[in-house]
């Protein structure tokens, strides 16, 4: 879009939106950070019933975890609790809470609130979607199955101390507890809110407290002035629902302070001297890939999966669609995580080899592969690029679009033949990339079709390894098997983003877990 037209549209958009939420100049006495974002996927702020990063980053404003990921390095650090004492057998973790930490309603944080938070993750009446994160806690499965009314492995020792026992030593357990689904909630308020929790009520110890949540309109947070780490330099945050085009125009007009650019907007702002200096770049521990469901013909044949992999040119996707702003992937494990290696086999584009493999598999005239995406997926244009690439290999790639909820249901039922997705490290350990995706018990939920006791054993073995060199070798080999031997998926690129941040705002950035960090945000 030409600059003049952008500015003309900005005048129209700003005029129509000022009545809705004002501009920074309208409230000079208030230091409110305004964040423009597409909010259609944000229907509930209850982190227990979602696996959406959009909601994780909002939950993190309100809820603190026992331990935390350093925003810059992702190293695990104390937070609500000190780092735990771990028993010699690696199965018992004993924690001590910081004393005097207050919830935003004034209640003091106690071990009873922590116990309730962990109970809520697994108790079936709360419909938790993140049980797999820590289902090794003793008694978790019995609670999920309705065969227990408490979490056996969690023991309150006193007001500020508790222990957690797990069924087997798990080297990433402390890292798991730093992930968003384990943000500690106020037991009293959560029970009183009932099904309003996550809609009108969320009470945590976090840097911000919820004031208003109107889906597809806005979310308003007020700064917790009594935050135990010291209040951020804001009076509050307002997230406002708007399209990507509107958000860009609103940022240009000075009406919002924060917006993460869509891919097709990046070059425009990189080439604009006024705005290029306001762009912040961040690579994520996220790999975008095409998944192959090996329970669906013709993908049940490893030669066909290999052929489809060979028919994709990720370098072209990176250069043409992303203008080189992301990096082509040769591994499933993302850069910066143990198990990643620069020396992984280069995934090449070879349509002639692909045709040969298809012929050997009994498909001399080629195959049709259906790639399913939700109608709000960011991968639709990438699928269209791959569709053109695959023609040279006699592969007909059909794009099937469905409504987002229907797509998710189909994936959970193992019904998708193939799909594009991105996977991000909620906890900084390669275990997450395999345990929740490629164990046999996830086969249906993730539409992988992989049910292999041998693979399960390799995944489970990785959870026990504590030696860094041994762990690196183990996950390099597991990654190689998934990508270049069994061809369960085709890595495409490692995700990155550019975010526009107003020059009146400091200490705001996206972490490499894709979550926006506002814990130390400040308005000058």
Looking up residue 121, the CATH number of its domain turns out to be: 3.90.76.10
Confidence of residue 7 (pLDDT cuts 50, 70, 90): very low
pLDDT at site 498: 96
Query: Please, are residues 395 and 387 in contact by the beta-carbon 8 Å criterion?
Result: no
Q: Work out the mean pLDDT of the chain and round it to a whole number.
A: 93
What six digits make up the tokens of 181?
Answer: 């689904």
For 35, the enclosing helix (H) or strand (E) is strand 32-37
Output b/e per residue, 38-68; b: 16+ Cβ within 10 A: bbeebbbbbbbbbbebbbbbbbbbbbbbbbb
Residue 272 in domain: no
Confidence of residue 25 (pLDDT cuts 50, 70, 90): very low
- What CATH number is given to the structural domain containing 243? 3.40.190.10
Residue 106 in domain: yes
- What CATH number is given to the structural domain containing 321? 3.10.105.10
Average of pLDDT values for 90-118? 98
Q: Are residues 377 and 469 in the same domain?
A: yes
Confidence of residue 38 (pLDDT cuts 50, 70, 90): very high
Q: Are residues 475 and 366 in the same domain?
A: yes
Who contacts 32 (Cβ-Cβ below 8 Å, separation ≥6)?
24, 234, 235, 236, 237, 238, 523
**φ, ψ for residue 310, nearest 5 deg:** -70, -20
User: How many percent of the chain have pLDDT more than 90?
Assistant: 91
pLDDT at site 52: 86
Q: Which domain holds residue 327?
A: 285-496
- CA 12 → CA 16, 145, 238, 268, 387, distances in Å? 6, 55, 21, 20, 38
User: Taking Cα atoms as reference points, which of 515, 504, 514, 513 lies closest to residue 32?
Assistant: 504
User: How many percent of the chain have pLDDT more than 70?
Assistant: 94
Confidence of residue 13 (pLDDT cuts 50, 70, 90): very low
pLDDT at site 29: 63
The span from the CA of 446 to the CA of 429, in Å, is 19
Render pLDDT for 484-504 as a digit per residue (tens, 0 to 9).
999 999 999 999 999 999 999
- CA 238 → CA 103, 226, 257, 514, 523, distances in Å? 21, 20, 10, 19, 14
Please give the span between the terminal C-alpha atoms of the chain, in angstroms, as a whole number.
32
Strands in 272-417 per DSSP E: 279-292, 327-328, 367-374, 395-402
Residue 270 in domain: no
Q: Are residues 319 and 465 in the same domain?
A: yes
- The region of weakest confidence among 11-20, 229-238, 287-296 is 11-20
pLDDT at site 18: 38
What six digits make up the tokens of 354?
Answer: 């692909």
**φ, ψ for residue 412, nearest 5 deg:** -65, -20
pLDDT at site 249: 96
Q: Are residues 70 and 25 in the same domain?
A: no
Q: Are residues 441 and 399 in the same domain?
A: yes
Highest mean pLDDT among 29-33, 309-313, 428-432, 464-468: 309-313
Residue entry with tokens 């990189």 = 270
Number of domains forming the structure of the chain: 3
Render pLDDT for 416-474 as a digit per residue (tens, 0 to 9).
999 999 999 899 899 999 999 999 999 999 999 999 999 999 999 999 999 999 999 99
Q: Are residues 220 and 125 in the same domain?
A: no
Output b/e per residue, 414-441; b: 16+ Cβ within 10 A: bebbbbbbbbbbbbbbbbbbbbbbbbee
Render pLDDT for 129-139 as a digit per residue (tens, 0 to 9).
999 999 999 99
Q: What is the model's pTM?
A: 0.89
Residue 274 in domain: no
User: Taking Cα atoms as reference points, which of 262, 267, 305 lies closest to residue 450?
Assistant: 305
Q: Are residues 364 and 234 in the same domain?
A: no
Residue 50 in domain: no
Is 22 a residue whose pLDDT tops 50? no
Strands in 39-118 per DSSP E: 67-69, 76-78, 85-86, 92-96
pLDDT at site 1: 37
Q: Are residues 75 and 157 in the same domain?
A: yes
Q: Are residues 105 and 228 in the same domain?
A: no
Residue 507 in domain: yes
Is 20 a residue whose pLDDT tops 90? no
Render pLDDT for 185-204 as a digit per residue (tens, 0 to 9).
999 999 999 999 999 999 99
Q: Are residues 361 and 234 in the same domain?
A: no
Q: Are residues 106 and 179 in the same domain?
A: yes
pLDDT at site 23: 46
Residue 267 in domain: no
Residue 130 in domain: yes
Side-chain-side CA neighbours of 429 within 13 Å: the count stands at 26
Query: Please, are residues 21 and 513 in contact by the beta-carbon 8 Å criterion?
Result: no
Confidence of residue 40 (pLDDT cuts 50, 70, 90): confident
Q: Are residues 403 and 461 in the same domain?
A: yes
> Considering 165, 190, 215, which residue would you say is the last residue of a domain?
190
Average of pLDDT values for 259-288? 95
Side-chain-side CA neighbours of 140 within 13 Å: the count stands at 21
């Amino acid at each position: 879009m030409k600059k003049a037209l952008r500015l003309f549209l900005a005048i129209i958009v700003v005029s129509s939106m000022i009545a809705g939420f004002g501009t920074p100049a309208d409230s000079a006495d208030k230091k409110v950070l305004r964040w423009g974002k597409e909010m259609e996927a944000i229907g509930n702020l209850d982190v227990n019933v979602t696996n959406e990063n959009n909601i994780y980053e909002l939950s993190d404003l309100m809820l603190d975890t026992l331990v935390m990921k350093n925003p810059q390095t992702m190293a695990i650090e104390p937070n609500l609790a000190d780092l735990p004492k771990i028993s010699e057998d690696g199965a018992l973790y004993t924690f001590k809470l910081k004393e005097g930490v207050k919830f935003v309603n004034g209640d003091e944080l106690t071990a009873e609130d922590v116990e309730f938070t962990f109970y809520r993750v697994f108790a079936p009446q709360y419909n938790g979607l993140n049980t797999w994160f820590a289902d090794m806690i003793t008694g978790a499965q019995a609670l999920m199955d309705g065969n227990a009314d408490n979490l056996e492995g969690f023991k309150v020792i006193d007001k500020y101390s508790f222990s957690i026992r797990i069924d087997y030593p798990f080297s990433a357990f402390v890292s798991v507890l730093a992930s968003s689904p384990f943000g500690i909630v106020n037991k009293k308020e959560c029970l009183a809110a009932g099904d309003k929790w996550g809609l009108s009520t969320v009470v945590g110890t976090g840097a911000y407290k919820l004031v208003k949540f109107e889906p597809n309109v806005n979310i308003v947070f007020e700064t917790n002035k009594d935050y135990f780490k010291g209040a951020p330099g804001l009076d509050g945050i307002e997230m406002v629902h708007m399209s990507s085009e509107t958000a860009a125009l609103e940022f240009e007009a000075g009406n919002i302070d924060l917006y993460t650019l869509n891919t097709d907007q990046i070059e425009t702002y990189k080439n604009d001297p006024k705005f290029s200096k306001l762009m912040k770049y961040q690579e994520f521990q996220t790999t975008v890939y095409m998944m192959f469901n090996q329970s669906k013909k013709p993908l049940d044949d490893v030669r066909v999966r290999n052929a489809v992999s060979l028919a994709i040119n990720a370098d072209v996707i990176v250069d043409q669609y992303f203008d080189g702003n992301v990096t082509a992937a040769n591994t499933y494990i993302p850069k910066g995580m143990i198990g990643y290696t620069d020396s992984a086999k280069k995934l090449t584009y070879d349509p002639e080899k692909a045709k040969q493999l298809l012929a050997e598999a009994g498909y001399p005239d080629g195959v049709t592969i259906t790639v399913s995406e939700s109608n709000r997926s960011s991968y639709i244009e990438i699928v269209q690029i791959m569709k053109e690439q695959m023609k040279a290999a006699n592969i007909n790639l059909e794009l099937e679009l469905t409504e987002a909820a229907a797509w998710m249901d189909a994936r959970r039922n193992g019904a998708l033949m193939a799909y594009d997705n991105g996977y991000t490290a909620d906890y900084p350990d390669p275990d997450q990339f395999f345990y929740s995706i490629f164990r046999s018990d996830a086969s249906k939920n993730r539409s992988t079709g992989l049910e292999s006791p041998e693979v399960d054993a390799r995944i489970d073995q990785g959870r026990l390894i504590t030696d860094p060199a041994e762990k690196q070798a183990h996950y390099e080999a597991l990654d190689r098997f998934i990508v270049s031997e069994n061809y369960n998926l085709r890595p495409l690129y490692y995700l990155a983003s550019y975010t526009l941040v107003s020059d009146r705002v400091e200490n705001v950035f996206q972490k490499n877990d894709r979550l926006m960090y506002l814990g130390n945000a400040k308005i000058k």
